[in-house]
Structure 1
Amino acid sequence: MSSFDQLYPNFDSEVWLRSCEQEVDDPIEGKITGEMPYWLRGTLLRNGPGSLKVGPMRYEHLFDSASLLHRFGIQDGGVTYQCRFLRSNTFNKNRAANRIVVTEFGTKAVPDPCHTIFDRVAAIFNPGEAMTDNAMVSVYPFGDEIYTFTEAPVIHRIDPKTLDTLERKNLRDSIAVVNHSAHPHIMPNGDVYNIGMSRVNCRIRHVVVKFPFNENGDMFEKAHIVGQTKPRWELHPAYMHTFGITENYFVIVEQPLSISLLRIMKNLLTNAPFANCFKWYPEYETHIVLISRKTGEEVKRYRTETLFYLHIINTFEQDGKLVVDLCAYKDAKAMDAMYTHAIETMQSNTNYAEWTRSRPKRIEILLNAPQLTYFDATVLVDYGCETPRIHYDLYNGRPYRYFYAISSDVDGNPGSLIKVDTMTGEVKTWDAVDCYLSEPIFVPAPNAKEEDEGVLLSPLVWGSNQPRAVALLVLDARSLREIARAEFATPSSVPRCLHGWFVPERA
């Protein structure tokens, strides 16, 4: 199809469909243009889809792609790059068999003659070991250790310098969670909170788990539940990719995309993909549930419009209100948009832009309002926004002004980076022809006095004309002016990544 026949000529879907064929074990030096800030020193770690292929087979959904870790080492004005696959059990089994032998979110594995019906029945009681452990979504610190995350209860510790996979942890061994979100909250004192599902007194509950910071010990050893709430539909709990935290509350957004627990058990018996456990209920509104951080009990729940979301931007309390900012879609078709066939055929799909069209919305809740009061979700700016980030260390769970994101509008400038002023509605953008940025991460300048005083770090890949290349873009967070970039020629294709974390170098 020529560019004249394309519905979305500004978007090259090939950036999501690439497979890395050769890892970069030893750091390679980047070609620097501009000038890296003298104070910027540390490691930017990234995670995301790395390979859709296993031997002659291919995955059917972007969430199934083998986790590829990226490292940008920044020091003394220079930048190095490495990438390596996460050595999960799933990755190792697939590589050994040269085919897909572990069922994923959207892909059914080939039948395993050694996997009996008794094994599948046993899997119902230990889903963490029966399901894929391909942790390809995000990367987060637990104290001085770095772990990769997906929504299954298995996480992996990696070496932040070599990207070696060091340890595999099933969180069911620490705390009885069936699953958890891919985006825990890291508190200023080092404590970590995450939301998941667990059986409490033989009932399924949404739970908040605390991993207390321990400078000299195992943060998982003393993990415990600090909050819980009954799902709106007990056998169909809501799917939640993120959650919010404020001074007094854990904020749970129960959208009408549910997960059938009965279907999960059936899938484990039939080796079916996890995606068919999801069901969208357009006739139901979204609930915002507040769990007290003091008592751990549900305090109140409120209602807003029917919406689908993946990422909460921020939540905070101010002047008797609770504010929830999130990237909202009108329905859950965004999940379908990530099937590989949908990505491949998007240029002839007149509905694709609507499937992926999110808008940043704000829900302002009066905390003294009665139970189940309805509050509108209002659009902050008319721009597609995804993978939002803020000045996290100082403003997570607190009143804030700015957030940064990448565009979700495939019929606009889909490779662009966006800065939103939530107070004035002003939007600033950075974009360039055939360039595709990933989630921007804010790094504050030393002794910064303003919320947006610092830089944004974002990996950059090019379209199909330049697949064997990657760059690290450094932007001034105030103006979005490009300060510097480091460009790398790589031995293999580099796919667009998802999420990451910046680890500053210690003084």
Structure 2
Amino acid sequence: MAACKENLYPNCDPTVWLRSCEEEVTEPLEGQITGEIPSWVRGSLLRNGPGSLQVGSERFDHLFDSSALLHRFAIHDGNATYQCRFLQSNTYKRNQAARRIVVTEFGTSAAPDPCHTIFDRVSALFDPGESMSDNAMISLYPFGDEMYAFTEGPVIHRVDPVTLDTLGRRNLTQSLALVNHTSHPHVMPNGDVYNVGMSLVKGRLQHVVVKFPFTEKGDMFERARIVGSMKPRWPLHPAYMHTFGITDNYFVIVEQPLSVSLVGVVRNQLSNKPLARSLQWYPQHETHIVLISRKTGKEVTRYRTDTLFYLHIINSYEQDGRLIVDICAYNDAKVIDAMYIKAIESMQSNADYAEWFRGRPKRVEIPLDAPRLTRIAPRLLAGLGCETPRIHYDLHNGKPYRFFYAISSDVDVENPGLIIKVDTATSEIRTWCDADCYPSEPVFVPRPGAKAEDDGVLLSAVVRGAGDPCAVALLVLEAATLRELARVMFRTPSPAPKCLHGWFLPERV
């Protein structure tokens, strides 16, 4: 990366997002521990995220295109080990075989294949699961005793939670006619899984809710079915969705004014252009919050709120005749532009860059007896940037809750590498940071038998800045206070990139 003439954000090191892992860690790597991991913390913290921007001499243009890299921190008897493996998607294998980018990604155009005719490209429109990239580098979620890597395309990959081997792939276009789905399904206490996607329903593209019923025997995917649907506000411009909410009675769909132009998708598919060119931001339109009944599967009502962009819903729930939706909100969708590689490289001389990432956690509190399309203004939950939010998920997902945990999205603050705890009842904020450390999403693990909502630990994968690119650590914090309990430091054989989302799998007794 070329040196910048200016240094507008001296405390933020963007190189943590620009690294490429050059050597997998297939055998568990021992680390150096400081502090003490509570003896009851036993299991695997699994992570997913961008692993390599390079394919041969070529480079991806957007962070979302980076080859998926899986990580495992295995915690046992007060210590931990580390592994990492590349997800063996079809896209990854094709790129590696050719030593160049041969599949067009979210923000990167592949070189045109002279063997593919216009007829091939037209045919590909009807099978997006096979024609689109299947580079699932966003998240990991369990379906019963199986673990799957997700992105927003219709293909998910089963991975071995111990070895990180890629065990297989499922194309949900073929089984459920899903064109896409969110990267963040909801896993219910009984093991059922729900997700929201786009599907053809009676010849029209609709937002649909899919249920994957838990079963100890058999296949959750074979039993999957659509349990809810709604028409997009704009039929040819459905809203872009990365997450959704679920409460006791409703599926909560936040229909934002960042849309996917269906005409643009077709045009870009035929011309081999990236999906990002199909996204359109409409600042003149408000955001809608749509409720789909969990009983009937039909849209019940919708409400209006400010024009905003979001990636993550913190939580949603019903209480005392009100619907509460907590969300990490931005004024516009510039944060997607901020994740282009050239934008990251030039951020230190871009005076607007900090504003592109100026998200804030906000609450929309809606009386459920309010008339349809009532406008509800959001209120601020905390005056600092929060992203990749997590809660005490097992007990409080879709239920009243008090605390959430996040990392900072502010690049122009004294400590950009914050872990943040927000008390939504009192507005109290706690933070953790350490010099030149950049943590990932903090995952809450409850103490066995705990009664308090925040009685447990937070687990986070931490990388260091440009001066130490081959260091990665498992950080263990006391969730109540954010006091550091332990850190296990690993030396990796090649650069360790910053990861995005993950899941904690407790050790089976």
Shorter chain as normaliser: what TM range? Answer: over 0.9
Structure 1 unaligned runs (5+)? none
Q: Deviations over 1:419-472 (max 9, x none)?
A: 000000000000011100000000000110100000000000000000001000
Residue 40 to residue 19, structure 1, CA distance change in 2 (3 Å):
same
Q: Match of 2:210, as an amino acid?
A: V
Contact 2:37 2:79 in 1 (8 A): yes
The residue that corresponds to 1:380 in the other structure is: 381
Counterparts in 2 of 1:243-392, with a 5 A limit?
A: 243-392=244-393
2: CA distance, partners of 1:173 / 1:12? 43
1: CA distance, partners of 2:86 / 2:459? 22
Stretch moving more, 338-347 or 261-270: 261-270
Structure 1 residue matching 2:167: 3-state secondary structure = strand
Tell me which stretches of 4 or more aligned residues in structure 1 moved more than 3 Å.
1-5
The residue that corresponds to 1:404 in the other structure is: 405
Contact 1:389 1:441 in 2 (8 A): yes
For these two proteins, the number of residue pairs brought into alignment is 507
1: CA distance, partners of 2:87 / 2:237? 32
Contact 1:3 1:9 in 2 (8 A): no
The residue that corresponds to 1:241 in the other structure is: 242
Q: Match of 1:425, as an amino acid?
A: S
Structure 2 residue matching 1:473: 3-state secondary structure = strand
The residue that corresponds to 1:416 in the other structure is: 418
The residue that corresponds to 2:47 in the other structure is: 46
1: CA distance, partners of 2:180 / 2:350? 34
1: CA distance, partners of 2:37 / 2:293? 44
Structure 2 residue matching 1:424: 3-state secondary structure = coil
Structure 2 unaligned runs (5+)? none
Q: Match of 1:46, as an amino acid?
A: R
Structure 2 residue matching 1:225: 3-state secondary structure = strand
Contact 1:440 1:456 in 2 (8 A): yes
2: CA distance, partners of 1:160 / 1:506? 13
> Shift of the alpha carbon at 1:5?
3.6
> Shift of the alpha carbon at 1:217?
1.0
2: CA distance, partners of 1:75 / 1:460? 19
The residue that corresponds to 2:134 in the other structure is: 133
Q: Deviations over 1:142-178 (max 9, x none)?
A: 0000000000000000000100000011012221111
2: CA distance, partners of 1:13 / 1:76? 35
2: CA distance, partners of 1:266 / 1:123? 12
The residue that corresponds to 2:158 in the other structure is: 157
Q: Deviations over 1:178-211 (max 9, x none)?
A: 1000000000000000000011000111000000
- Match among 435, 453, 456 for residue 454 of structure 1: 456
Q: Deviations over 1:299-325 (max 9, x none)?
A: 000000000000000000001100000
Stretch moving more, 143-152 or 112-121: 112-121
1: CA distance, partners of 2:313 / 2:290? 14
The residue that corresponds to 1:442 in the other structure is: 444
> Shift of the alpha carbon at 1:327?
0.2
Q: Match of 1:138, as an amino acid?
A: S
Counterparts in 2 of 1:91-130, with a 5 A limit?
A: 91-130=92-131
- Match among 480, 483, 488 for residue 482 of structure 2: 480
1: CA distance, partners of 2:6 / 2:127? 50
2: CA distance, partners of 1:65 / 1:114? 25
The residue that corresponds to 1:229 in the other structure is: 230
Contact 1:17 1:340 in 2 (8 A): yes
2: CA distance, partners of 1:248 / 1:299? 11
Contact 2:46 2:73 in 1 (8 A): yes
2: CA distance, partners of 1:506 / 1:83? 22
Structure 2 residue matching 1:174: 3-state secondary structure = helix
Q: Return the TM-score normalized by structure 1.
A: 0.99
Q: Deviations over 1:75-134 (max 9, x none)?
A: 011100000000000000000000000000000001112222111011011111100000
2: CA distance, partners of 1:3 / 1:305? 37
Q: Does 1:79 align with 2:80?
A: yes
Q: Return the TM-score normalized by structure 2.
A: 0.99
Q: Does 1:70 align with 2:71?
A: yes
2: CA distance, partners of 1:111 / 1:372? 46
2: CA distance, partners of 1:216 / 1:223? 14
> Shift of the alpha carbon at 1:2?
7.6
Residue 91 to residue 4, structure 1, CA distance change in 2 (3 Å):
closer
Q: Match of 2:51, as an amino acid?
A: G
Q: Does 1:492 align with 2:489?
A: no
2: CA distance, partners of 1:318 / 1:182? 27
Q: Match of 1:181, as an amino acid?
A: T
Instruction: Quote the RMSD (CA, aligned, Å).
Output: 0.9
1: CA distance, partners of 2:285 / 2:137? 31
The residue that corresponds to 1:55 in the other structure is: 56
Residue 2 to residue 61, structure 1, CA distance change in 2 (3 Å):
closer
Residue 445 to residue 3, structure 1, CA distance change in 2 (3 Å):
farther
2: CA distance, partners of 1:4 / 1:278? 32
2: CA distance, partners of 1:335 / 1:115? 30
Contact 2:64 2:137 in 1 (8 A): yes
> Shift of the alpha carbon at 1:337?
0.2
Stretch moving more, 281-290 or 264-273: 264-273
The residue that corresponds to 1:470 in the other structure is: 472
